[in-house]
Structure 1
Amino acid sequence: MNIKPFPVAVVGLGPGSQPEDPDLAYMPLPREIDSFDQPTLPTSEEVEHLHAAKQVIADLIAQLQGYQGDAEVYPVQDISQLDAANRQLINQLLGEGEVSCRVKLLDGRELDMQESVFAGIWRVLESSADGQLLADRIEACPIPAAVWQAARAFGKAELDIPTLPEQLMNAGPVLTEIAAAMQNPGSEAHITNFSLLPMSPADMDCLDAILGPGNSGVFSRGYGKCRIMATSLANVWRVQYFNGMNSILLDTLEITRIPEVALASADDLADSLDRLQEAWQWLQGEY
């Protein structure tokens, strides 16, 4: 089963509504900052018979009420077995938000993750190497743990610095800094801001070649376009911000489990719980 584009049946206008580009290209920035819009929901009479989907939402709300913010153990609802009508209600309720993730696991499986209009509530599709859908679930968390777990499993634990061309300006010291930070990780991210350093094009080409590509990426089209890409090194991420012309505004490297900018906050999740409860009351005819 082909899982691209992301199979959300009802999508509103605005950021996040654009079709997914298979090459992970970026669409133009939104001209306005959108506030939260409650999804357009059917009446309670129209969904009275959709008990399975409503039970999924009720169970998710109950799990969220007891969730303490753990990065690895968090609410999960498997909806793989829902029929088309119940799945459509889930699609309509969750909608499509502004952040998506893509992960390729070591065994060839792929994960496509789309944050819903409720921050911190994610739709996760798992597919086989040949594109067959294996699982469909809802995860409620700052970010699905597979994003950083897979990147860490794929990445090398140490940076071996090769002999560098003499004409480089600052690639050598930057690589030495990265290697040292990898050996002594702190509680806070170690950030190298390439936008503020005198880096030549040859320096950046050298760094790109040595850092290499990873297997996880996070993409945001919210307040500004942001791309967070794992490298071939464990816990080393490239974080880039773009303007409306797809030019880089800020180019950084972060050594951390996962850059903080990728995470939904505790306040985001608390707000999403409130919004989900409002939607539940609507579906029950109690709102």
Structure 2
Amino acid sequence: MKPFPIPVVGLGPGSQPEDPDLSYMPLPREIEGFDMPYLPTAEEVTNLAAAKQVMADLITALKAYDGDASQYPVLDITHLDSENRALINQLLGEGEVSAMTKPVAGGELRIQESVFAGIWRVLEEDGQGNVIADRIEACPIPHQVWQEAQAFGRAEAVMPDPGNVPLMNAGYVMQEIAAKLSQPLGMEPHIINFSLLPMSPEDMAYIDSCLGGGNSGVFSRGYGKCRVMSTALKNVWKVQYFNGMNSILLDTIEITRIPEVALASMEDLEDSLLRLEEAYEWLTGE
């Protein structure tokens, strides 16, 4: 996984070493809590009016946000010069969740949560890896993650004949998934917990072949390490939780729009609003 081209990490005294961004396949080694990024003094940023205006606009929009999963504050900062962009990077820092999706129309979206939960940096790239858009989005998770997964996924499960491969429960699991896909998506996720089922390696290989690979992934290191990957089936996600040794603790399938573990809550966003206001007051010397 190539590195996030914009260093969304705190700078200056007290900042942490930079870790690889958007590496949801390699597992991070530790859990991190909230650390307010290093804030320059108002005198140091007197000439960076554009970045301060972006922060003011973000705070205003976040105050009016009602929690809608698709309609939420989006600020395009593609036009910012390098100095103003550096200040935005410095203010937002790097949070606990990263994501990636490959839209069906082409290109790639690489997403990094800031240290303010629910405030995301979204980089849109073309097919050659060139950044064509840079956005700040305030929401549970950028909607492209699950919308593109839905657009990519098949509506029906295909279960090929396993041939001479001995299976224990894979057939029953796939029948359960197929039955759920034939029904309207419910408000609550339907969860299949492989950790509680007698599953052979052949079972898991067969299920993986039936599910196929998706185009979206989320990695969270907040309340323990968790990897959320879409599959080639619409609204079917693989969710795995890991311990400190990067061994799987819980292995599940969730049939839902997007697993809740990947989402920031409204309480997170409300707390982030308060912290953003504190940071803005520091910048403006108020």
Name the aligned partner's letter for residue 258 of structure 1. I
Deviations 1:29-83 (A, max 9, x none): 34xx53x221110000111111100110101111011000000000000000100
Structure 1 residue 146 and structure 2 residue 149: aligned? Answer: no
**Equivalence for 1:178:** 177
The CA distance in 2 between the partners of 1:9 and 1:255, in whole Å, is: 32
**Equivalence for 2:16:** 13
1:223 is paired with a residue of what secondary structure? coil
Name the aligned partner's letter for residue 26 of structure 1. L
Greater mean alpha carbon deviation, residues 218-227 or residues 174-183: 218-227
**Equivalence for 1:28:** 29
Q: CA deviation at 1:21?
A: 7.1
Deviations 1:106-148 (A, max 9, x none): 1221000000000000000000111011000100000000000
Q: CA deviation at 1:247?
A: 1.1
Deviations 1:206-255 (A, max 9, x none): 00111010000001122311100000000000000111222111000000
Greater mean alpha carbon deviation, residues 183-192 or residues 157-166: 157-166
- Of 129, 132, 150, which aligns to 1:131? 129
Contact 2:24 2:99 (8 Å CA) reproduced: no
Moved over 6 A (4+): none
2:133 is paired with a residue of what secondary structure? strand
Contact 1:3 1:131 (8 Å CA) reproduced: no
The CA distance in 1 between the partners of 2:232 and 2:83, in whole Å, is: 42
Q: CA deviation at 1:159?
A: 0.7
RMSD: 1.7
Q: CA deviation at 1:6?
A: 4.2
**Equivalence for 1:271:** 271
Identity of aligned residues (%): 61
The CA distance in 2 between the partners of 1:100 and 1:38, in whole Å, is: 18
Please show how residues 1-287 of structure 1 align to structure 2 within 5 Å. Answer: 4-8=3-7, 10-11=9-10, 12-13=15-16, 17-20=18-21, 24-30=25-31, 34=33, 36-165=34-163, 167-184=166-183, 185-286=185-286
* Structure-2-length-normalised TM-score: 0.94
Contact 2:98 2:112 (8 Å CA) reproduced: yes
